Amino acid sequence: MKPINERLIELREHSQLNRQHFATRIGIDQGTYSRYELGQTKPSFDTLEKIAICFPKVSATWLLTGKGQMFTDAKPDVVDSPVMQSVEESEEMKELKKDRDAWRDMAMALIKSPSAAALLGKLKGNPDAAETIAEFFRSQMRASYAA
């Protein structure tokens, strides 16, 4: 069974798209997509859902687990529910969920921290507050990685 980065390369090459065009088509940054293909990071559930929506003939099971054929004969009438609902959970899926949960837990801890509360209190009415908050969280995440 191929890892997800190899499946992404296979799908992109089959679609005859370069990395930039593939990334643009699914609505993500080309650098982020390149890291997926290089195996440096794994795509989020949101990204996998975008791929499934942009390439509706691609089997969600194949995309997520590597099992079965790349393409399905079934054409979805409406793609309005998360792709993950009917997919057998593989070890790779469990790892992706674990990563997602870890990021969510870290974000919640940062949001609830005293330093975040103090920062938010100082920023009331500041038009640049969103960027300041984003930079605060980026710095907190960098610090947590350094630890």
pLDDT at 127: 66
Segments in the chain below pLDDT 50: 75-87
pLDDT at 77: 41
pLDDT at 138: 72
Q: SS3 for 5?
A: helix
Q: Quote the tokens at residue 18.
A: 């370069």
For the stretch 39-77, what's the b/e string if a residue is b when 16 or more beta carbons lie within 10 angstroms of its beta carbon? Answer: eeebbbbebbbbbbeebeebbbbbbbbbeeeeeeeeeee
pLDDT at 16: 93
Distance between CA atoms of residues 69 and 26, nearest Å: 21
As to burial, measured by CB atoms within 10 angstroms (0-12 exposed, 13-18 middle, 19+ buried), residue 33 is buried
CA separation, residue 127 to residues 55, 123, 131, 135 (Å): 39, 9, 9, 14
pLDDT at 144: 62
pLDDT at 72: 82
pLDDT at 94: 73
pLDDT at 99: 75
pLDDT at 1: 79
pLDDT at 74: 57
Phi, psi of 71 (to 5 degrees): -115, 150
The share of the chain scoring above pLDDT 90, in percent, equals: 30
